[in-house]
Chains A and B, each alone.
Chain A
Amino acid sequence: MSLLELDSVSVFYGQTQALHEVSLTVEPGEIVCLLGGNASGKSTTMKTILGLITPRTGEVRLAGERVTRLAPAGRIRLGLASVPEARRVFPEMSVEDNLLTGAFTRRKGVRAELASVYDTFPRLAERRRQHAGTLSGGEQQMLALGRALMSSPSLICMDEPTMGLAPIYVDRVLDLIADLNRERGLAVLMVEQNAELALSIAHRGYVLNTGHIALSGQADALLDTPAIRTAYLGA
């Protein structure tokens, strides 16, 4: 059974259609990346999965359950978590309060999860009392990731996790995602601008073009696809 399934999802903003019958799946333990040019509908897909936008037609399933009209909280309880576009940490809350906010939907095991996140990100433990707004971009990305982990998800959706980061942090973040995937079996659905980097850690990928799925396949196969090479890899 797929962890996440989008079945012919169409999304509208008012009169204009942003997604046309998009179908995709994420299997347990997989890293899947979602590629596409500007305004192709990547963020819209992510928001639909999270429950911030309701599709006009089509269905969203999480762990086999239909969640098309379920609020975000219900989806988080089913094992979904998100790292929003541009990180969006709460700037005037402490690092620790940011993390606790990520555990809003759960009542048990919060302290244990907090300890485990601090274990994974010792840097956050050092700065637990500091306002999140004072962290560097890379640290904020760690915090956003840690915040997502606080709900003990089985699938994390990340919208451009490397955007605006210094080059050394780009690699760090991608390594971290690969580690979390390998060590915890965490599934990841990731939107990325940098197709080559994304496909280097992903198992599979989809390519969106003006709201349609234009291509999909195994990561290495996509890397070799001429269309991808010309469109995203500048080759």
Chain B
Amino acid sequence: MLDTALAGLVNGSSYALLALGLSLIFGVANVINFAHASVFAVGAMSGWWFSVDLGWPLWTVLLGVMAVTGLLGLVINLVAVTPLAKAPPIAALLSTFAVSVVVDNGAQLVFGPETRRFPALLATDNLGLGGLRFGTLDVTILAVAIGLMLVLGWFLRATRYGRAIRAVAQDRDAAAQMGIPLARVQNLAFVVASVLGGVAGVLGGMYLNNISPTVGSTVGMSAFAAATLGGLGSLPGAVAGGLLLGVVEAFGVSWWGGNARTLITFAVLLLVLWVRPSGLFGKRSPLAAEPMTGTFFGAARTVRLRPWQVAVAAVAAYVVPAVALDDYTVQIGVQVVVYAILALSLTLVSGQAGQISLGQAAPLAIGAYTSALLTTGTGLDFWLSLPISGLVAAVLSVALVSPSWRLRGHYVSIATLATGLLVAAAAVNFDWLTNGPSGVSAIPPPTLFGAPVSAPLAVYFLDLTILLVVLLLVVRLRRSTLGRIWSAIREDEVAARSSGIAAAEYKSLAFGIGGFVAGIGGALFAQQYGYIDPSVFGISVSLLALTIVVLGGLNSPLGAVVGAIVLVGLPEALRMLEETRMLTYGLLLLAVVLFRPQGLMGKVAR
């Protein structure tokens, strides 16, 4: 009991350090820094390198890591945040998200993707107090974390620049009038936050024992949940939220096993967003109007293709693979088509209704699992399972996201992110239903007129036909009254509501239809590969879907298809490795957000 609580506090102190940085940055720059998780990973990896390859003692390791991650924080701010100061917060959220992908996958290239042991710099089981066993390690982690928090508290209270940071967080304009240099203060906040994050990486690495270049993603998400739990922007809240989440996770893991950790984290995060989005200590209300997410991209008008051009392209999509392409290339085409369907689902949600979703893998996974379980478990026909998969995906994703509709701007993105991760975590944990981490195999291929559709070209034709139907549906929806209502909500939700539009219902409808389309895509996906497991539906799929639509011009159905060809087809055709591919996605997303927010296919409205 006490052991578990202590373990939770020790682990939670890493969360608290990370959450402090997240809240500090949120306060000063009004940005949710998704790259903060990568700072943790870089801290852990460079700590590993300093101690294993260079043989440094712990205190120099800590100093070295602070230098490395402090610099990284500065770079993140200068590259991904400062240039977007005038854009709505959602832009910086996407750019920091892109930076985190770049950093994580860059670190994989540098260090290799494998998990390695973090050296045992300190004893883990040499002390006792009453019946409680612990080690120098636990004491050191807690002492370093608490020491740093005290130093931070002193810095913010008693120094000139510390006060400046608080002033900027409370009132940017007034701070500027006092002669406080905003840019420098923001740089400083990123450096301080990242120094804390780097130390958290070393402490977390020592605690976890095993680290890898992507260790940040899970820990970072927990820290993010902790910061939201405490109240984004509140520093005492970050500490309390971190420690609390650490303890809750520790008990959950001791009762339900290690896989439960992520499930608990994202369930807590979603619950906080539903019940008390300003967190335990937060003062600022996330319900207050924020610049609408849509207006950032909404400035774009999409390139119009003439109907005959589209028809020619569609015919070519059927004919060319049949006569000119080998099986391998056709299989790539199948992947492109499935991702295009997923991206189209996001076009409705994010492009048309303006709700940026970072979790579109959720309906994809739900659809895939529904179809896989129905066809393997009950022997249901593929064609019956297809609409059922869509419906289940639609209902579940609406049920998970709609309680967040009173939130706005980047809080909606956080809620969708949590939803995506929660669904993947549920697939891991609900073994009785999903067969847990080992997944579902031997999923039968679809049948048509009694014959199995399994030759690559046949599968391709089937998927392509469904894609065209979806494309038609999305285009028709955009031009309907419904499409115009969604646009109105995207452009100005307050105005839309005051003219009598039930915004929440219409947003749910967008997610529902989007979820249905994504669910269909998931069913196709499951049937074609014959095998699925939870790892297939990770955050990288949501990221890829979002990158595709942002690249294609967010609100352009054809752009989504083109984006899928560019982002899924090209890397596959070039036989790019997984890491370099993710690195490329990250760089592309960053470049698009920074330089061409209207996407490849968008024209800037004048």
Q: Which residues of A contact B (CB under 8 A)?
A: 50, 52, 71-73, 75-77, 82, 84, 88-93, 97, 100-102, 104-105, 147, 151
Q: Indicate if B406 sits at the interface (CB-CB under 8 A).
A: no
Q: Given contacts A84-B173, A84-B174, are A90 and B181 in contact (CB under 8 A)?
A: no
Asked if A82 meets B180 with Cβ closer than 8 Å, knowing A91-B170, A93-B167, A104-B160, the reply is no
Compute how far the CA of A84 lies from the CA of B173 in the bound complex, rounded to whole angstroms: 9
Q: Which one of A71, A77, A82, A97 contacts B163 once the chains associate, using CB atoms below 8 Å?
A: A97
* Interface set, chain B 139-179, CB cutoff 8 A to A: 157, 160, 163-164, 166-167, 170-171, 173-179
Contact B177–A72 (Cβ < 8 Å): yes
Q: Are B179 and A104 closer than 8 Å at their CB atoms?
A: yes
Q: Other than the known A93-B163, A97-B157, what 16 A-B pairs have Cβ atoms closer than 8 Å?
A: A52-B176, A72-B178, A72-B179, A73-B180, A73-B181, A76-B178, A84-B177, A88-B171, A88-B174, A90-B167, A92-B283, A93-B166, A101-B175, A104-B164, A105-B178, A147-B178
Chain B interface SS verdict (over half): helix
Given contacts A90-B170, A90-B171, contact A100 B179 (CB under 8 A): no
Give the docked Cα–Cα distance between A50 and B163 (Å): 21
Give, as a whole number of angstroms, the nearest-CB distance from B358 to chain A: 30
Task: Indicate if the CB atoms of B179 and A151 lie closer than 8 Å.
Answer: yes
State how many angstroms separate the Cβ of B185 from the closest Cβ of chain A.
Answer: 10
A110 to chain B, nearest CB (A): 9
Asked if A101 contacts B177 (CB within 8 A), the reply is no
Once the chains bind, are A97 and B176 in contact (CB under 8 Å)? no
Compute how far the CA of A186 lies from the CA of B170 in the bound complex, rounded to whole angstroms.
Answer: 29
Closest 8 CB pairs of A and B: A88-B174, A73-B179, A76-B179, A105-B179, A90-B170, A72-B179, A82-B177, A101-B167
Q: How far is the CB of B510 from chain A (nearest CB, A)?
A: 32
A89 to B167, CA, bound (A): 9
Name B's A-contacting residues (CB within 8 A). 157, 160, 163-164, 166-167, 170-171, 173-181, 283
**Residues on A with beta carbons closer than 8 Å to the beta carbon of B163:** 93, 97, 100-101, 104
Assembled-state Cα–Cα distance A77/B181 (Å): 13
* Min CB–CB distance B288 → chain A (angstroms): 15
Instruction: Determine the chain B residues whose CB is within 8 A of the CB of A147 once the complex forms.
Output: 178
B545 CB to closest chain A CB, in angstroms? 35
Residues of A within 8 A of B176 (CB): 52, 72
Tell me whether A101 and B164 are in contact in the complex, defined as CB-CB below 8 angstroms, given that A82-B177, A84-B177 are known contacts. Answer: yes
CB distance from B191 to the nearest CB of A (A): 19
Among B163, B174, B180, find the residue whose CB has the most chain A CB atoms closer than 10 A: B174
How far in angstroms is the closest Cβ of chain B from A128?
14
Q: Can you list 5 residue pairs at the A/B interface with Cβ under 8 Å? A: A71-B179, A84-B177, A90-B170, A93-B170, A97-B166
- Given contacts A93-B166, A97-B163, A104 and B177 within 8 Å (CB-CB): no
Nearest Cβ distance between residue A81 and chain B, in whole angstroms? 9
Distance to closest chain B CB from A54 (angstroms): 13
Complex Cα distance, B176 from A201, in Å, reads 29
**Which of A75, A101, A147 has its CB near the most chain B CB atoms (within 10 A)?**
A101
**Chain B min CB distance to A150 (Å):** 9
Which residue on A lies nearest to B183, using beta carbons? A71
- A100 and B176 CA atoms in complex are apart in Å by 14
Q: Check B179 against A52 for contact (C-beta < 8 Å).
A: no
* Cα A90 to Cα B175 with chains together (Å): 9
A52/B177 in contact, CB under 8 A: yes
With a cutoff of 8 Å between Cβ atoms, the chain A residues found around residue B157 in the complex are 97
A101 to B177, CA, bound (A): 10
Minimum C-beta distance from A92 to chain B (A): 6
Residues of A within 8 A of B283 (CB): 92
Chain B residues contacting A97 (CB-CB under 8 Å) are 157, 163, 166
Nearest chain A CB to B169 CB, angstrom units: 9
Q: Which residue of A lies closest to B283 (CB)?
A: A92
Residues of B with C-beta under 8 A to A77 = 179
CB distance from B461 to the nearest CB of A (A): 52
